[in-house]
Amino acid sequence: MLFKNNLEHPSQTSNSFLKLLGMAAISVPRFTVSLLACNTPSTQKPTKSFAKKVLPKPKRRRQLDVMLIKASTTSQTPARRTANYHPNLWDDDFIGSLERAYESPFYAERAETLINEVKEIFNGMSNQNSSLLQRLSMVDSVERLGIDRHFQKEIKEALDHVYSHWNEKSFNADLNTTALALRILRLHRYGVSSGVLENFKEKDGRFLSSYTQSHEEIRSILNLFRASLIAFPEEKVMDEAKLFTTTYLEQSISKIGDTSLSQEIKFNLEYGWHTNLPRLEARNYIDIYGANTSWMTCMNKKKILELAKLDFNMVQSVQQRELQLLSRWWMESNVPQLDFTRNRYVEFYFWAAGGCIEPKYSAFRIGFAKICSLATVMDDIYDTYGTLNELKLFTNAVKRWDPSTIDCLPKYMKVVFVAFYEMMNDLAQEATKTQGRDTIDYARKVWEIFLASFMQEADWLSIGHIPTFEEYLENGKISAGGQILILQPLLTLDALLPDKLLPKIDFPSRFNETLAKTFRLSNDINSFKVEAARGEKASCVGCYMRDNLGSTEEEALDYLISLKEKLLKELTWEYLKLDDIPTCSKDHAISISRGFHLFYRERDGFTISTKDTRDLIMKTLVQNIPM
């Protein structure tokens, strides 16, 4: 047993939909400073009175910023490397035109009615002594449809009942029920062992010696495949199950034709679990759910499906409003005027919104998108555009944390520094609402470590040095950005993170270390060729081949993919084990991880967002679902 049997399931309180939507209104405070740098260095943080004294009016400031940017591009500058990134795909006027069609109180009232009716369905299962499979199927459906946050009490009661029967022989007689229970109970941190799957192996070691490939059998194998994805380290039976089910399902698709079951199989094979997001799965499963025949009556199914569609559209309206706020922030920052960097704020918002659905977490989604946007600009500065001397100046400016001392920076860096400074102070104010204390110093330290890792890579590039694989990965786990992407947004959630708890979430926690390494591996596996073409030879692939002379590129990739899969199992264990870290913190951190690996499934989906990424954004953020 990898878990103790007396594990406690975290209870969560379900708020009404009306209340959640009411909390979604956001004010985005701005603490701005002048781009006109003071010649006298100061060791103190500027006060608001200082800001008011030197700050031009917004319109005048924006004009000044644009002039500074234009001046920087027309004056004599050193030769710079550029990556020729494609431009922003999302016109700001288009973002502003999103209608937010489901904000009317009428829809909220209808949703509240449906929520109560679905709760009655849950209660009816309990009163009528429904089967374990029926309870599990109900929980699985509402979770995949993205409406489970409304039924936390009912889900816990259903799973408590299922878990109470876990060790009974009759429970483990059916593969479909056992596989579904293993997956759902494990994801809810109940103590279940994958050893139960040994009961379904034949004498020859295979799970099935002969196949009927009936829909019932295929669905059982599909649930076994889904369970195998929630594997911990050294679980051989889970590896065997994944290998068998993958082959079986791939063969089944062509035999059952274009049905809802084949669509479900394709989606699960393509996106798995570590490369999937709840919002994306909800959008896909809504199309599949109605056609799936099961124990549930047609009327009950209609209620659940209507709620899923309505909830999806209502949440989408909230997210569209947040995206419009983010668009205005991005334009006012003047960073889009810099033509050498990636403009991907919509893609980053999709990443946050795909995993964090609850309307009350607006500050999390917007803050996360801001962090990613400016971190990407800095990445492009350190990787390609900036000179080594400029990078040193910018790194030191961030350490000083004083906008009156940035006169030494080139104009484009002044624009970035000011946008970064304002963002950090805005996020610190948001974090104070939850944490009850000032977290800016802790957040600054995280960013200093992040930029120091960028600086290290720039130093290696400047002298043509290729570090050892171990040396590169140790630095690369920082430069991949996991630390800044996970920690600072978590400070805006509704979980208090005292100083003694922060190190367990931040470095050197095993959870964050493992997650950060998988970020670096996924990034390099999919982008090393492009980076090598522009002269960046230090990567996981290049460093592995340097350490293992004579090894081929294919051998290096095989090793790195295997290492990443091993680390993802460790990450799953660290995520699901019970400890004193707030569950919501770990849940949001793992959704960030899943979103990252979604973007890097086949390519760098941030840098090249013209393909799959654009389509996913249209399906989840732009197009509502017909009712």
- For residue 296, name the pLDDT band (cuts at 50, 70, 90): low
Lowest mean pLDDT among 72-81, 100-109, 317-326, 548-557: 72-81
Task: Give me the residue spans of the domains in the chain.
Answer: 105-310, 333-622
pLDDT at 582: 83
Lowest mean pLDDT among 3-17, 266-280, 552-566, 604-618: 3-17
User: With 50 as the cut, is the pLDDT of residue 59 above it?
Assistant: no
Instruction: Give the Cβ contact number of residue 120 at 10 Å.
Output: 14
With vertex at residue 247, the alpha carbon angle to CA 244 and CA 251, rounded to the nearest 5 degrees, is 135
Query: 180: number of CA atoms within 13 Å, CB side?
Result: 23
**pLDDT tens per residue, range 579-620:** 888 888 889 899 999 999 999 987 787 778 888 899 999 999
Structure-token match 């999709």, residue found: 350
pLDDT at 76: 56
User: With 50 as the cut, is the pLDDT of residue 25 above it?
Assistant: no
- For residue 294, name the pLDDT band (cuts at 50, 70, 90): low
User: With 80 as the cut, is the pLDDT of residue 528 above it?
Assistant: yes
Which of 36-45, 254-263, 471-480: highest mean pLDDT?
471-480
pLDDT at 298: 78
CATH classification code of 105-310 = 1.50.10.130
Residue 291 burial (10 A CB sphere; 0-12, 13-18, 19+): exposed
User: With 50 as the cut, is the pLDDT of residue 49 above it?
Assistant: no
Q: Which of 464, 476, 462, 467 is nearest to 388 (CA)?
A: 462
**pLDDT tens per residue, range 353-369:** 999 999 889 999 999 99
pLDDT at 46: 37
Torsion angle, CA of 195/196/202/205, rounded to 10 degrees?
-20
**pLDDT tens per residue, range 252-261:** 998 888 888 9
Lowest mean pLDDT among 133-142, 387-396, 508-517: 508-517
Instruction: Give the Cβ contact number of residue 305 at 10 Å.
Output: 16
Which of 53-62, 324-333, 489-498: highest mean pLDDT?
324-333
Tell me how far apart the alpha carbons of residues 397 and 407 are, in angstroms, rounded to a whole number.
10
Residues 171-189 have a mean pLDDT of 93
- For residue 110, name the pLDDT band (cuts at 50, 70, 90): very high
* DSSP track, 413-429: HHHHHHHHHHHHHHHHH
**Residue 491 vs residues 128, 514, 591: alpha-carbon distances, Å:** 44, 21, 16
Lowest mean pLDDT among 54-63, 79-88, 237-246, 382-391: 54-63
Sign of the dihedral through C-alpha 137, 140, 144, 145 = positive
In Å, how far from its chain's centre is CA 392?
Answer: 31
pLDDT at 433: 87
CATH classification code of 333-622 = 1.10.600.10
Lowest mean pLDDT among 92-101, 205-214, 328-337: 205-214
Cβ atoms of 412 and 72 closer than 8 Å: yes
Instruction: Give the Cβ contact number of residue 322 at 10 Å.
Output: 23
Q: What is the mean pLDDT of the chain?
A: 84
Structure tokens at 212: 């009927």
**pLDDT tens per residue, range 193-224:** 999 999 898 877 788 766 778 888 999 999 99
> Pick the residue with more confidence: 110 or 39?
110
Whether the bond into 29 is cis, omega within 30 of 0: no
| pTM attached to this predicted model | 0.85
pLDDT at 169: 79
User: With 70 as the cut, is the pLDDT of residue 51 above it?
Assistant: no
Q: Which of 367, 356, 518 is nearest to 439 (CA)?
A: 367
Three-state SS for 435-493 is HCCCCHHHHHHHHHHHHHHHHHHHHHHHHCCCCCHHHHHHHHHHHCCHHHHHHHHHCCC
- How large a percentage of the chain has pLDDT more than 90? 62
Residues 96-125 have a mean pLDDT of 94
Tell me how far apart the alpha carbons of residues 62 and 75 are, in angstroms, rounded to a whole number.
20
> Pick the residue with more confidence: 440 or 537?
440
Residues 6+ apart with CB under 8 A from 176: 133, 216, 219, 220, 223
> Pick the residue with more confidence: 530 or 237?
237
- For residue 40, name the pLDDT band (cuts at 50, 70, 90): very low
pLDDT at 293: 58
Instruction: Identify the H or E element spanning 249.
Output: helix 236-256
Residues 6+ apart with CB under 8 A from 44: 402
In Å, how far from its chain's centre is CA 284?
Answer: 18
pLDDT at 140: 96
**pLDDT tens per residue, range 111-123:** 999 999 999 999 9
Q: Which of 597, 468, 443 is nearest to 520 (CA)?
A: 597
User: With 70 as the cut, is the pLDDT of residue 24 above it?
Assistant: no
